[in-house]
């Protein structure tokens, strides 16, 4: 991402949580989560990671996920959907916003219709979302 000129911040801190990478643009930013061992290998680690993502989505963050195995096999092909997503969000290389990290912001959850989902329903929803993000939609 940096080779293409994007402003990338690793381990972005927000409300006591961390996002693997954040690609910052002039008016928007995209959280990029890198899935794979050793941090995303057990069911509990995977669930915790998706729960953190869900909380941050409720606070307005947009996410894109990539699996380490996909990147290892075909780095350029695996990132093609990311370039499309960044373009769709108006995030361009070489352009950044001034504010980074928490910068004094406070996080508060918002009500969502799916608050009563079972754990299995949440897993299905997150699996579908991850699959879509990997396809570049």
- Provide the phi-psi class of 105: left if phi over 0, else alpha when psi is between -120 and 50, else beta: beta
Give the mean pLDDT of 130-135.
Answer: 46
Task: Read off the pLDDT band of 61 (50, 70, 90).
Answer: very high
Structure confidence by residue, pLDDT tens digits, 2-41: 888 999 999 999 888 889 999 999 889 999 998 876 666 7
What's the pLDDT score for residue 133?
43
| Residue 4: C-alpha distances to residues 62, 64, 94, 104 (Å) | 21, 18, 9, 30
pLDDT (mean) for 112-136: 53
Query: Which residue, 39, 41, 37, is CA-closest to 11?
Result: 39
């Amino acid at each position: 991402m940096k080779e293409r000129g994007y402003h990338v911040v690793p381990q972005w801190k927000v409300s006591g949580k961390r996002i693997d990478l954040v690609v910052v643009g002039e008016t928007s930013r995209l959280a990029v989560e890198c899935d794979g061992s050793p941090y995303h290998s057990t069911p509990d680690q995977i669930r915790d990671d998706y729960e953190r993502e869900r909380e941050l989505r409720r606070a307005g963050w947009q996410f894109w996920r990539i699996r380490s195995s996909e990147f290892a096999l075909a780095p350029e092909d695996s990132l093609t959907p990311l370039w499309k997503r960044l373009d769709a969000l108006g995030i361009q290389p070489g352009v950044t916003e001034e504010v980074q990290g928490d910068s004094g912001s406070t996080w508060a959850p918002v009500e969502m219709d799916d608050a009563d989902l079972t754990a299995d329903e949440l897993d299905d929803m997150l699996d579908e979302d991850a699959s879509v993000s990997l396809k570049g939609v």
